[in-house]
Amino acid sequence: MASRLAKRLGGLVIVMFIVAAIVFFLTRLAPGDPAALMLGDQATADDIARLRTTYGLDRPLFIQFGLWLAEVVKGNLGHSIFLQRPVTQALLERAEPTFFLALFALAFATLIGIPCGIASAVWRGRLVDQILSAIAMLSASIPSFWLGLLFIQFFAVRLGWLPVAGYGDPGAPLAERLAHLILPATVLGIVNSALIVRFTRASMLDVLGEDFIRTARAKGISERRVVLRHAFGNALVPIVTVVGLTGALLIGGAIVTETVFGLPGIGNLIVSSVLRRDYPVIQGALIVVAGIYVIINIAVDLIYALVDPRVRT
């Protein structure tokens, strides 16, 4: 187990270096100039050149990359051109809504997705299965921005139950801030539950066809116990994978949902930073997101070993 972990952590360093290089050079290859955007329409070429020099954007790309990488290794993700603050601070300020949004959405998706997937597998081909499969297909096909606007229109505007957007007034208590997450988390949960339903159903069907399930039934074990304990326990590996990866994607920022609901989260920050060409923030945010994604992948690998003894060998 320890050597498995060490090997995975070694891989993490290589992956992160590759990610850093790709993020840096792709960002710079895109046209656009943060200095020109900052200064506005009336700026002259001299003004723009001066600001580029201030931020070191006039230096050769490889030197910029080397300097940035050296700072990243020291834990310094740089300084935002647009926000005028360290990138780490900008990310930390946005971590709370993104974290709770991911948590609630994942909880919602899992609580809906796993029972529906199990029911769909147990009643395979029956009306329940057809209805649940159709709903799952529909959920996967609905664009989250459209569903978000629909929910805003109905729950926030028509019924007036929940806030339209944002993350609470200045100084709002945590409960008020979290109330702003109910609608976006529900939207994200619905959209992401479809994948969990499909994976749970497929995995359960595989396991329910195994000999040991037939044996369990032959031994007179109740169907409830067969399904929930014997089948579900053995179907967990792919379900853990899909739940883990969904969680990783959500922590990286539910870009569209955060934008529609005006949540000041990491996804929103990435979108705004791309439009502003705020290179340090784009690079820093993507490095952190990639890091989280890789770490969750490693965690999922380790969970495999816990839920399936065959993987430990």
Partner 1 sequence: MTISGITLPFDRRTFFKLGGGAAALTLLPDGLVHAAGGTSANLAMVGEPQSLDPMASTADLIGTIMQHVYETLYTFDANWALRPMLAADMPTISADGKLYTIAIRPDAVLHNGRKLDAEDVVISLKRWIELTPRGKSVGTTVDAITAKGAATVEIALKAVNPSLLSHLALPSGMAAIMAKETIANPLTEFVGTGPYRFVERKPDQYTLLVRHDGYVGRTEAPSGYAGKREARLTELRFIPVPNANTRVEGVIAGQYQFSDQLPVESMKKVSGASGIQPILTMPYGFPYVVTNTKQGPMANLGVRKAFQLALSEADMLLAAFGDEKFFATSAEHFPKGSPFYSDAGASSYNKADAAAAKKLLAEAKYDNTPIRILNSKQYEFHNRMALVMAENLKEAGFNATLDVVDWATLIQRRGDAALWDVYVTHSAFLPEPMLSPPQLSDGAPGWWKTPAKDAALAAFNGETDAAKRGALWGKVQQVVSDEVPYIRVGNFAALSGATGKMKGYKPMPWPAFWNVDLG
Q: Say if CB 71 and CB 77 are below 8 A apart.
A: yes
**Which residue in the set 140, 142, 162, 311 belongs to the binding site for partner 1 (CB under 8 A)?**
162
Helices (H), 142-181: 144-151, 174-179
CA distance 38 to 243: 40
Window of 60-68, 76-84, 195-203, 212-220 that interacts with partner 1 by CB under 8 A: 76-84
d(CA 184, CA 257): 6
Applying CB under 8 A, among 169, 209, 222, 228 the residue interacting with partner 1 is 169
Alpha carbon distance 164, 94 (integer Å): 19
Q: Please report whether residue 304 would count as binding partner 1 according to CB under 8 A.
A: no
Residue 179 contacts partner 1 per CB under 8 A? yes
Q: How many CB atoms lie within 10 A of CB 177?
A: 17
Residues in contact with partner 1, counted by CB under 8 A, come to a total of 59
- On whether the CB atoms of residues 226 and 271 are closer than 8 A, the answer is no
Burial call 288-308: b when 16+ CB within 10 Å, e when fewer: bbbebbbebbbebbebbeeee
Is there binding between residue 60 and partner 1 (CB under 8 A)?
no
Tokens read off for 115: 């029972």
Nearer to partner 1, 48 or 249 (CB): 48
Nearer to partner 1, 2 or 29 (CB): 29
Smallest gap from residue 286 Cβ to partner 1 (A): 17
Among 44, 75, 125, 220, binds partner 1 (CB under 8 A): 44
Residue 86 makes contact with partner 1 by CB under 8 A = no
Which spans of this chain sit near partner 1 (rule: CB under 8 A)?
A: 30-34, 36-45, 47-48, 82-85, 90, 93-94, 149, 152-153, 156-157, 159-167, 169-170, 172-173, 175-176, 178-180, 182, 259-262, 264, 268-269, 272, 275-277
